Structure 1
Amino acid sequence: MSSNVSDDEDVPQLSAETFAVLQEFYKEQEERESNLVLDTDPNASLEEDWQLSQFWYDDHTIDVLVDVALKSVGDNGKIALVSCPTLYKKMRRKARENCEITLFEYDKRFSVYGKDFIFYDYKSPLDVPRDKSDYYDLVIADPPFLSDECLTKTAVTIRFLTKDKIILCTGAVMADMAKRLLDLQKSSFEPRHKNNLANEFWCYSNFNLNELL
């Protein structure tokens, strides 16, 4: 009788262990597949995660921002992309070999970009490498949320990273904050997204971006 009780107790334990192993296997498989898809074409295949407030730019917006960025820094420039991961792949492809591009991003799926990826959480705005202070010729940022708190903390990061130029893509409602925090002015270019947003979206800068369009 005691043997049967022992057997009954063993069954759910073994089942739970097997389930855990299967879950781990599926998780690893999903991560491998995500990395493979991302390395092929993030804009076409990687789904937006709306829980992270991700909204991918459309192709025209990517082309314009990449061209403006590369024109503004030259062949040997250093560019930081803060919370705008869909710019990286086209920018890396079009940039000269000596142009340094770093993606500061919360979504670890983009860690497939290797040394060009640095994990970034806007809630900890200075939790970035110390040697990146006043390092980048241009910082392009797109804070994930339209809130004073998010823009204020992202602005701290931007100020830390940049030694010169800033491009900020965010909602029209943040215009006063963009001016007050970073002394940015609205440009004539208005970024668009693959899935249209209800909020009016603007592009701000601290230099004459219009002449590079």
Structure 2
Amino acid sequence: MSSAIDVPASPQSGSSSLSGSPPTLDPSTLALLNSFIASKTDEERRFNELAEEAAARVAGLSLEGDGEDEGANDKPMMSVDEYRSVFSEDWQLSQFWYTTPFAMRFARTLHSMCTPTTSIAFLCCPTAFVAFQHIEPLKNARLLEVDGRFSVLTPRHYVPYDMEDPTALPAYLTEGVDIAVVDPPFLNEGMLCSPQYTNVNVVKTLRQIMRPSAKLIVLTSTSVSEILERLYDSPPLGPLRRTRIEVLHGQLRNDFACWASWEGSEELDLVEDGESKEEKEEKEV
């Protein structure tokens, strides 16, 4: 990639006294712009590679030759850091990725609640899904997301999910989920998709897919706690208890928290065992 970008000259009238070379960007600004373009190019390249791999698996022609039938062991998911570099946040979809240290500790917490046969569904929280499958893939883990980009991560585990049609889901999910993890998008009451509207539809989905004995974990802003109390009011969705888990995002400064649906879940906290050196250092800073 060229180290410089040509900036077109501003239109000038014939009577203008301006002359000389066309305007150029400040070197530091130009360096930032080139760096951004390079990162976007690399993001597109890596995404296209993932799409090709996904297409091969769907066709039964895995590039690694390991197949992807129901009995096959899934290879570990990409790391959260790689995921964050490949998938940009789409703010129009209210996407804000968790920090890597939080996502990994939260994923360990979820794994501590699971067995190899647990059915766990992640609604609108792809970062948590990626971290969970990176640590140890579960064959019955599913990501329910409107953003079709995530189908390239692992096609068999991705379920298209549109809150405009909250019960349009595969039949196998009906009362088939042991643990549901949801991060409802859209927190601004002034937006078309308000917290009230969003959570009403999420509740419809959860009541369809959760088993009567299932557990629910909700990560969202404390500003909508009243909505949670009103809508998630009966089993298996509630009543919700606020846990000890503090939710951390990379670029979102809202006060977030975590709620859970079962008795005693007030004591639920992040699992710290197995932290990497990098995670511990970042936590201590």
TM-score class, shorter-chain normalisation, is 0.7 to 0.9
Deviation at 1:37, TM superposition (A): 6.3
Matches within 5 A, 1:75-90: 75-90=116-131
Aligned to 1:134, the other structure's residue is in SS state: coil
Rounded Cα–Cα distance in structure 2 between residues aligned with 1:170 and 1:200: 9
Rounded Cα–Cα distance in structure 2 between residues aligned with 1:196 and 1:128: 30
Correspondence 1:210 to 2:267? yes
Aligned to 1:80, the other structure's residue is in SS state: strand
What is residue 71 of structure 1 aligned with on the other side? 112
Aligned to 2:112, the other structure's residue is in SS state: helix
What is residue 159 of structure 1 aligned with on the other side? 207
Matches within 5 A, 1:24-103: 33-36=46-49, 41-95=82-136, 97=138, 99-103=139-143
What is residue 242 of structure 2 aligned with on the other side? 186
- Cα deviation code 1:38-93 (max 9, x no counterpart): 88521233211111110000012211221121111223211100000112222113
Give the AA of the match of 1:201: F
Give the AA of the match of 2:47: S
Give the AA of the match of 1:192: L
- Cα deviation code 1:152-194 (max 9, x no counterpart): 1111112221221000111112212212222211111121101
Which has the larger share of helix?
A: 1
Change (3 A) 1:150 1:82: same
Aligned to 2:113, the other structure's residue is in SS state: helix
Aligned to 2:109, the other structure's residue is in SS state: helix
Which has the larger share of strand?
A: 1
What is residue 33 of structure 2 aligned with on the other side? none
Which of 60, 82, 107 aligns to 2:147? It is 107
* Superposition misfits of 4+ residues, deviation over 4 angstroms: 30-33, 37-40
What is residue 180 of structure 2 aligned with on the other side? 139
The answer to whether the Cα contact below 8 Å between 2:174 and 2:208 also exists between their aligned partners in 1 is: yes
Deviation at 1:127, TM superposition (A): 1.0
Aligned to 1:173, the other structure's residue is in SS state: helix
Rounded Cα–Cα distance in structure 2 between residues aligned with 1:203 and 1:85: 16
Give the AA of the match of 1:195: Q
Rounded Cα–Cα distance in structure 2 between residues aligned with 1:73 and 1:184: 20
Aligned to 1:139, the other structure's residue is in SS state: strand
Rounded Cα–Cα distance in structure 2 between residues aligned with 1:150 and 1:35: 31
Unaligned runs of 5+ in 1: 1-29
Count of aligned residue pairs for this structure pair: 182
The answer to whether the Cα contact below 8 Å between 1:187 and 1:203 also exists between their aligned partners in 2 is: yes
Give the AA of the match of 1:210: E
Percent sequence identity over aligned pairs: 27
Report the TM-score when normalising by structure 1: 0.77
Correspondence 1:177 to 2:234? no
Report the TM-score when normalising by structure 2: 0.59
What is residue 23 of structure 1 aligned with on the other side? none
Q: Which has the higher contact order (CA 8 A, sep 6+)?
A: 1
